[in-house]
A and B are shown apart, each in its own frame.
Chain A
Amino acid sequence: MTIAFAIVAILTIAASVAAMSLRNLIHCALAMAVAFGGIALLYLQLEAQFVGFAQILVYIGAVAILIVFAVLLTRGGEAPEKSVFSASWIWGALVTAAVFATLAWTIKNSFASQREPPANVEATVKQIGDSLMTKFVLPLEVVGLLLTAALIGAVIIAMRDESPKTKMEDGRSKMEKPSAPGGHP
């Protein structure tokens, strides 16, 4: 374990803990952005440039902004008066520890962890692009279709209903024809 890894790991874990325990929701969201950044740094330490930068681009550039907007649009950033910990946190901690232990034990004994990591893998962006366009082109297209459907769905949900829309259209056409008061006696 190198010093750089230790620093990044401590930063990520501290930011994750802060994201769960801070009172102000916006502070939590910002702490989570720091945690996303820490994970991106871990990817970069593993020489996975593409994944690391995509993590920053998608999670800090888009997901964190989305979360922050959602917080602002729902209940405001007011900090709650009472503690954010529930009364039965000790049971929660126990369950969490049990789940973590089970997962860790399973991974430790699994087939994947016995395998030797291949020496000197070098995944350049070009290789990733090539395999995305040849071997994995179908999943890529499916994801594209799904995202397009989601985008159109979001636009339809956000679109105004039919009757107020025509009113708005009228208002706008009046605004853009500044002749309105004189033109309609």
Chain B
Amino acid sequence: MVESLDQIFVSLKHALLGFVPGNWQALASAILSLLPIFVIFPTLFAITTLLERKGLGRIQNRYGPNRVGPFGLLQPAADGLKALTKEDVVPHAADKIVHFLAPVVLVIPVFLSFAVLPVGRNLVAVDMDAGLLFFFAVGAATELSVFMAGWSSRNKYALLGAMRAIAQMVSYEIPLILSSVGVVMIVGTLSPVKIVEAQGTYHGLLPDWFVFTPWGLAGFIIFMIAAAAESNRSPFDLPEGESEIIAGYFIEYSGFKFALFFLAEYLGMFAISGLGITLFLGGWHAPLQSLEVIPSWFWFFAKLVAIILVFIWIRGTVPRLRMDQLMNLAWKFMIPMVLINVVGAAVWHFMQPGLARWLVSIALVVGPYLWLGKSLFQSKHLAKRTYRFAE
């Protein structure tokens, strides 16, 4: 019973494949593997928009959407209809072809990146040997479409936003990739499926997830900070910066093209959170051995929703960074930190299990953190704020 519930989607696919004639099997198998990605994650996007508006509303002491349907539950449907029926305005001076292509080119790699994420036991669209590399490669392709959107609009705010977005994405891609290097070194493979399998054992009460090691915890935190920056989430939403460059690179987009940008941004956040779960949070494994009876795909989505809620919480709490602060954080703090963390993972791999390994590993995380933080703050010459008229 437990086994069948866990594998319900796999057996459903095999049952459906039974109706397909022999030489169409390969095509039908591919379609049946990919179709759920195109259904589930946009649905999750719709739910997340509502969740985000509700959550931000509660944080800011207001109700959030509550007019459409019971408790405002049908708000995403209303938003979708609105985006579809709005007039699609293209600026007169815009480069029409590139302006049209940019949102399309942005959405394709975002959907592609879900192909290698294992969302459950045996539930992965493409089990690739170099899956992690594939994920980062298609992620890198989104930068060009951001540039296309900003440049083709012929609007200085759009171009400024695109420049900011590219500078930010290029800078934060380095800590993002380097923080996953530790996991790759320990597991010895680039395949996400095997990385999840390596975290499947239980050690007493705690599972053997990489987040429960000193280097893994540091790597996970750096990964999630870089992930927030990669998906242009607050507090790293400078490319949008409503107060200074109004909406950044999608200022000249309206109607459904704007909705596509919105969709791509959220799906990118889901994909990169899913990768964080795969690398550090044990993928689809249950947090306790006794909870393994609950199907594996449930655990993946539970963790995904938990991370999304944390992102919403951060968005409602932390103010936006300034451009120089953004660059300083990436280049002066996160990259040295993550390089030391790679060494920390290697030390963890080669030392014998025991207390000494934990102490050395903790020292390799806490020491650089304190040292970097202290030296960076010293160069800032921060002083207590004094007021002339307010006091």
**Bind each other:** yes
Where the two chains meet, the residues of A that have a C-beta atom closer than 8 Å to any C-beta of B are: 24, 26-27, 30, 33, 37, 49-50, 53-54, 56-57, 60-62, 64-65, 68-69, 72, 77, 124-126, 173, 176-179, 181-183
26 pairs of residues in contact across A and B, judged by CB atoms under 8 Å: A24-B95, A27-B98, A30-B98, A30-B144, A30-B148, A49-B129, A53-B130, A53-B134, A53-B136, A56-B141, A57-B133, A57-B137, A60-B141, A60-B144, A61-B140, A61-B143, A62-B170, A65-B144, A65-B166, A68-B144, A125-B133, A125-B189, A177-B381, A179-B387, A181-B388, A182-B387
The distance in angstroms between the C-alpha atoms of A24 and B151, with both chains bound, is 12
Instruction: With A27-B98, A126-B188 as known contacts, state yes or no: A64 contacts B129, CB within 8 Å.
Output: no
Q: What is the bound-complex CA distance between A181 and B128, given in angstroms?
A: 61
| A70 CB to nearest chain B CB (Å) | 13
Chain B residue with the shortest CB-CB distance to A60: B141
Known: A49-B130, A77-B151. A183 touches B141 (CB 8 A): no
Kindly identify, within residues 139 to 155 of chain B, every residue whose CB is under 8 Å from any CB belonging to chain A: 139-141, 143-144, 147-148, 151
In chain A, what residue has the closest Cβ to B139? A61
With the chains together, A56 CA to B139 CA distance in Å?
Answer: 10
Question: Which B residues are in CB contact (< 8 Å) with A173?
Answer: 381
B2 in the interface (beta carbon within 8 A): no
Q: Is the CB of B144 within 8 A of A64?
A: yes
Task: Determine whether B385 belongs to the interface, using a CB cutoff of 8 Å to chain A.
Answer: yes
**Residue tally, chain B, CB below 8 Å to A:** 32
Give residues in B with beta carbon < 8 Å to A. 95, 98, 128-130, 133-134, 136-141, 143-144, 147-148, 151, 166, 170, 173, 188-190, 380-383, 385-388
Q: Given A27-B98, A179-B385, A50 and B130 touching (CB < 8 A)?
A: yes
Complex Cα–Cα for A133 and B17 (A): 44
Contact at A176–B140, with CB atoms within 8 Å?
no
What is the predominant secondary structure among interface residues of chain A facing chain B?
helix
Chain A residues with CB below 8 A from B147, complex form: 65, 68
Q: Please pick, from B140, B151, B386, the residue contacting A62 in the complex, using a CB distance under 8 A.
A: B140
Could you tell me the distance between the alpha carbons of A179 and B95 in the complex, rounded to whole angstroms? 48
Q: Which residues of A contact B129 (CB under 8 A)?
A: 49, 124-125
Chain A residues with CB under 8 A of B170: 62, 65
Residue in chain A with minimal CB distance to B138? A56
In the complex, what's the smallest C-beta–C-beta distance from A145 to chain B, in angstroms?
16
A-side contacts of B166, CB under 8 Å: 65, 69
Compute the total of residue contacts between A and B using a CB distance below 8 Å.
Answer: 84
CB distance from A160 to the nearest CB of B (A): 14
Q: Which of B128, B144, B151 neighbours the largest number of chain A CB atoms within 10 Å of its CB?
A: B144
- Tell which of A49, A54, A61 touches B141, judged by Cβ atoms closer than 8 Å: A61
Q: Do B144 and A33 have beta carbons less than 8 Å apart?
A: yes
B381's nearest neighbour on chain A, judged by CB, is A173
Tell me the complex Cα distance, A181–B389, Å: 11
Q: Which residue of A lies closest to B98 (CB)?
A: A30
Are A65 and B133 in contact (CB-based, < 8 A)? Answer: no
Q: Which residues of A contact B143 (CB under 8 A)?
A: 61, 65
Task: Collect the chain A residues with CB atoms within 8 Å of residue B139's CB.
Answer: 61
Among A50, A68, A77, find the residue whose CB has the most chain B CB atoms closer than 10 A: A68
Contact check, A60 vs B133: say whether CB atoms are below 8 A apart: no
What CA separation (Å) do A60 and B166 show in the bound complex? Answer: 13
Nearest Cβ on chain A to B327's Cβ, whole angstroms: 13
Q: Contact check, B385 vs A125: say whether CB atoms are below 8 A apart.
A: no
State the CA gap A182–B133 with chains docked (Å): 55
Q: Which of A26, A56, A126, A179 contacts B386 (CB 8 A)?
A: A179
Q: Closest CB-CB distance, A138 to chain B, in whole Å? A: 20
Q: Are B383 and A177 in contact (CB under 8 A)?
A: yes
In the assembled complex, the Cα of A115 lies from the Cα of B128 at a distance in Å of 31
**Docked-complex contact A126 and B189, CB < 8 angstroms:** yes
Interface contacts beyond A30-B144, A57-B140: sample of 15 additional A-B pairs, CB < 8 Å, sorted by A:
A26-B98, A30-B98, A49-B129, A53-B134, A54-B137, A57-B136, A61-B141, A62-B140, A64-B144, A68-B151, A72-B151, A176-B382, A176-B383, A177-B381, A182-B388
Q: Which residue on chain A has the smallest CB distance to residue B101? A: A30
Which A residues lie within 8 Å of B380 (CB)?
176
A24: which B residues are within 8 A, CB to CB? 95
**Cross-chain contact of B130 among A30, A65, A68, A125 (Cβ < 8 A):** A125
**A179: B residues at CB distance < 8 A:** 383, 385-388
Q: Is the CB of B151 within 8 A of A56?
A: no
- The docked-state distance in angstroms from the alpha carbon of A65 to that of B173 is 14
**Chain B contacts for A176, CB-based, 8 A:** 380-383
Residues in chain B near residue A27, CB distance under 8 A: 98
CB closest residue in chain B, given A55: B137
CB distance from A144 to the nearest CB of B (A): 13
A53-B130, A173-B381 given as contacts; is B190 within 8 A of A125 (CB)?
yes
Closest CB in chain A relative to B124 CB, distance in Å: 16
Instruction: Find the B residue at minimum CB distance from A49.
Output: B130
Shortest distance in angstroms between B354's beta carbon and chain A's nearest beta carbon? 27
Q: How far is the CA of A118 from the CA of B106 in the complex (A)?
A: 39
User: How many Å from the CB of A10 to the closest CB on chain B?
Assistant: 19
Within 8 Å CB of B133, what residues of A? 49-50, 53-54, 57, 125
Residues of B within 8 A of A53 (CB): 130, 133-134, 136-137
Are A26 and B130 closer than 8 Å at their CB atoms?
A: no
